Amino acid sequence: MWTMTRKVTAWAGWIWFAGLIMLSSGVFNLLSGIYAVGARDVGVVEVGTQILLLDVNSWGWVHIVVGALLILVALCLIAGQAWARIAAVVVVGLNMMTQFVYLPLTPWWSIVVIALDMVVLWALIVHGEEAEKVS
C-alpha cells in the first residue's frame, strides 16, 4: 500500500499556542465583561484638555460577546477545524480593536492583550498551513 507522509515541523505548535492564548483571553474578556455589566460605572478619562466618558456597562456587553467568540473559535481552532483559522484572524482583530478603545481605562492590560493578539495573528497567518497538515 502506498502512503504519502507529510513533513510537519515544530511550527505547528504555534497554532496550539494561538488557540490557548485566544482561549485565556476569551475567559478574561468574559469575566471582565460580566464584572463591568454588574458594576454600572462610567469611566472618566482626561485626554489633553477634554474629558472622555466611557459607559463601562455597554463595553461590558461588548467584552462578553467578544470573549464568547474568542472561546468558541479557540476551541474549534484547537480541534483542528480548517475554517477556524480565518475566523480566528477576524475575532482576534476585533479583540484588538475593543482593547484599543478600552485603552484609556485599563492601559497596561490593554497593551499586553494587544501585544499577545499580535503574536497570535502572526502565528495564525504565518504558520497556519502547518496546522492544516497536522489535521
Q: What's the half-sphere exposure (Cβ side, CA atoms, 13 Å) at 2?
A: 0
For 20, residues 6+ apart whose C-beta sits below 8 A from its C-beta are 74, 78
Whole-number pLDDT of residue 29: 94
Question: Per DSSP, what are the bridge partners of residue 97?
Answer: none
Integer Cα distance of 85 and 62 in angstroms: 22
Q: What percent of the chain has pLDDT over 90?
A: 47
- Taking the whole predicted model, whether its pTM rises above 0.75 is answered as yes
2-45 pLDDT per residue, tens:
555 556 566 678 888 999 999 999 999 999 889 888 876 666 66
